[in-house]
Amino acid sequence: MLRTPIVIVNFKTYVEATGERALKLAKLIEEVSSKHGVHSAVCPQQADVYRIAREVKIPVLAQHVDAIVPGKNTGWVTPESVKATGAVGTLLNHAEHKIPIEQIKKTIDLLKALGLSTVVCTADVEESRKAAAFGPDMIAVEPPELIGSGVSVSKTKPEVVTGSVETIKKINPKVEVLCGAGITTGDDIKKAVELGTKGVLLASGIVLAKDQRAAIEDIVRGIAK
């Protein structure tokens, strides 16, 4: 179950978060976030989900699933397989894995039927508006040009964040809003929360940090009460 305020860390396909390194990082995120009383979740690669979900207590999300049912679908990822690995849900529509808007709805419906959570990534206010109508658990607003840039959207494009929060809440007040793209410090998260979000989705700011523990400490302090 996903609870807010939350820090969600996307491992992407970085070698620093693959295999044994992925498990080590997940345990580190769990340790640090638990120490500060902050909710956290991790999104490892599909091949690492099963092991990580069984060795940590924090929620584990897949990075993507496909809008298909079990059967003759070689190379695709079913919602059922994600649930079987121990994941609580998935990211959808990340800037690095965009899907058609109608496919977002279909996938969310399949996930809901299985009791799985969805965190839909959106690029701007308009895409946030469309996604909110489908009733995902969370929407993470991430202008694609800032992803991995180290330049925080919460500081450089606050209007995208506040506009998305306002739009999403008008359409579906139950949808929690997160902030992503360029988040690297605790100050970035403080600003994101001030703009009305309930947490952040980030990747390289932690995964590629020279000192991952120090980076996680800084991030969670930014959202800790």
| Domain range annotation of the chain | 6-221
How much is the pLDDT for 83? 98
The set of residues, in sequence order, having a beta carbon less than 8 Å from that of 201 and lying 6+ positions away, is 8, 10, 91, 119, 121, 140, 142, 178, 179, 180, 183
pLDDT of residue 150: 53
List, by residue number, the catalytic residues: 94, 142
Closest to 42 measured CA to CA, from 202, 224, 222: 202
Are 141 and 179 a contacting pair, CB within 8 Å?
yes
Nearest-CA neighbor of 125 among 113, 107, 139, 146?
139
Alpha helices by DSSP H, the chain: 20-35, 46-55, 79-85, 101-113, 125-132, 153-156, 158-171, 186-194, 204-207, 212-221
Can you name the CATH fold of 6-221?
A: TIM Barrel (3.20.20)
pLDDT tens figures, 177-205: 998 766 778 788 888 888 888 999 999 88
Q: What is the amino acid identity at position 57? A: K
Residue 16: the pLDDT is 98
Q: What is the pLDDT of residue 158?
A: 74
Q: Which 8-state DSSP code applies to residue 145?
A: G
Q: What is the pTM of this model?
A: 0.93
Any idea of the CA torsion for 195, 201, 205, 209, to the nearest 10 degrees?
140
What pLDDT is recorded for position 149? 46
**What are the residue ranges in the chain where pLDDT is below 50?**
146-149, 151
**Quick one: which of 128, 143, 180 has its CA closest to 8?**
180
